[in-house]
Structure 1
Amino acid sequence: MANGPEKFFVFADDRQVYGPADVSLLQEWARQGLVSPETWVFHEGSDTWARGKGIAVLNGLLTAPTPSPETRAGGVGLRGGQLRRIRLFAEMTNEQAEAFAGMLERVQARAFSPIVRQGEHGDAMFLLLEGEARVSIRTQGKEDTITMLGVGDFFGEMALLDSGPRSADVVANRDCVLLKLAKSNFDRMIAETPEIASRFLLAMNRFLGGRLRATNERFAKAQQFARGASGQIAAPSPAAMQWKKGF
């Protein structure tokens, strides 16, 4: 056994390794549900990996993994006026926002857990109500972080249009509460209340336009920097281009 405090590293659901953690921090992660019985944990002293259920200091602290946000749902608990405080819904009337809230589901995501995965077929978009998440692309086995998401930001909107594969991972940096709009509910909204769906699409289009302008500005600054550094124009990365298109 190595001298000094025991050190552990955790291979989390987002495929990232966290640590080093001493015994007390590892136990706190377990109490928070960040380490499950099936989570891989590395013990530095013995130079071995083991499942959480095989780590003696975690006995009695582990619970079963939390289901994915894609399958967990509950009541939204928001009135129309409350929903309108979110910029995406600000131009709806209280009645329209109330009807829209009835189409939403409230979901939760633990810190470090994936909310959507690159390559999976999407059937819903999400809006971040609490917490923080990151958008990243996996290229050649490496994570390339594209942007950070905060309260009021949304993602996965392309799933409402084509149910195609997700073009990026979105991972919770902290415990998150999200509002989920399933494509089936969105399709029903278009059929039953087209005026509400139209307002929502117009608002979302404005936000996406702002996102595109910001991305173009970052590209321009990156190209200026590249010219100054090497005299050549740098091409946008594939990861950035995917984010520019939306996911």
Structure 2
Amino acid sequence: MAVVATDVEYIVWGIDQTAYGPVELPTLVGWVRDERVTADTWIFAAKTNTWQRATEVPELRMFFSRKSSGASSNGPTLGVEARALRRIKILGAMSDEQLERFGQFVEMTKAPQWSVIVKQGDPGDTMYLILEGELRVRINVMGKETILATLGVGEFFGDISLFDEGPRSADVVANSDSVLAKLSAGAFDKLAKEAPDLATPLLRAIGRTMSARIRADNKRTAGAAARSVG
């Protein structure tokens, strides 16, 4: 993390292994309040020419001491309300009563901006539904980021991992503070056994989405082949 000091105060090392800044103290404080900078975030201070964890930066200590006394956690919370799940497109065929029951099988979790929700190559066993925020799907090729898609409220990812629990095919990074509902492979198996009337419409919706992806990929491949021949 070699950095050349500048006249501006701070540089932030994000969870996605990217340097953000330089920024001045008011901006940095705003990021702390928005939980974009956490206690363990690495901060480069130009005036001391050193990297420190955010809790070790004198100007920020007061904010983290306040948080430690009663701030809410970003960890998962079991159960999601039906009205939140109503935003998810693939659950559109479910009634309010079905959504209420489905919500008992998923967990709600927060993803701060810049956090990596899933990492390419890691084993996967969880599907995510986007309740709030925006995410990007990316791959790194020779150190360069290539964005494959941008996902918003109502969309989902990681569905294939419910079936094969194979390695993740790409990174998914939070472009903004986001709220997600998680459905693990274990919870999905439980859903299929205990509530098949919920699992069936979910599977059908996932199947339709997969089919659309395959058709789109085939169309792109055919188009590329036609251009190469022409």
Common fold: TM-score over 0.5: yes
Residues 219 and 5 (structure 1 numbering): CA distance in 2 closer, same or farther, change over 3 Å?
Answer: farther
| 1:29 maps to 2:55 | no
Q: Deviations over 1:171-205 (max 9, x none)?
A: 11111111111111110122223342122111111
Q: Deviations over 1:149-170 (max 9, x none)?
A: 0011101112211222212111
Aligned to 1:171: 173
| 1:78 maps to 2:87 | no
Among residues 194, 203, 206, which one is paired with 1:204 in the alignment?
A: 206
Counterparts of 2:190 and 2:5, CA distance in 1: 63
Give the partner amino acid of 2:80. Answer: V
Give 1:4 shift. 8.8
Question: For the Cα contact (< 8 Å) 2:87–2:154, is it kept in 1?
Answer: no
SS of alignment partner, residue 151 of structure 1 = coil
Question: For the Cα contact (< 8 Å) 1:134–1:147, is it kept in 2?
Answer: yes
Question: For the Cα contact (< 8 Å) 1:117–1:169, is it kept in 2?
Answer: yes
Aligned to 2:160: 158
Residues 170 and 194 (structure 1 numbering): CA distance in 2 closer, same or farther, change over 3 Å?
Answer: same
Query: What TM-score does the superposition give when structure 2 sets the normalisation length?
Result: 0.82
Give 1:38 shift. 2.6
Unmatched 5+ stretches in structure 2? none
Counterparts of 1:66 and 1:15, CA distance in 2: 25
Q: What is the root-mean-square deviation of aligned Cα atoms in Å?
A: 3.0
Residue-pair matches, total: 222
SS of alignment partner, residue 60 of structure 1 = helix
Aligned to 2:98: 96
SS of alignment partner, residue 138 of structure 1 = strand
SS of alignment partner, residue 28 of structure 2 = helix
89-98 vs 146-155, which deviates more?
A: 89-98
Question: For the Cα contact (< 8 Å) 2:89–2:154, is it kept in 1?
Answer: yes
Question: For the Cα contact (< 8 Å) 1:5–1:22, is it kept in 2?
Answer: no
Give 1:105 shift. 1.6
Identity %: 40
Residues 222 and 21 (structure 1 numbering): CA distance in 2 closer, same or farther, change over 3 Å?
Answer: farther
Counterparts of 1:60 and 1:105, CA distance in 2: 32
Give 1:3 shift. 11
Residues 6 and 169 (structure 1 numbering): CA distance in 2 closer, same or farther, change over 3 Å?
Answer: same
Aligned to 1:61: 63
Aligned to 1:149: 151
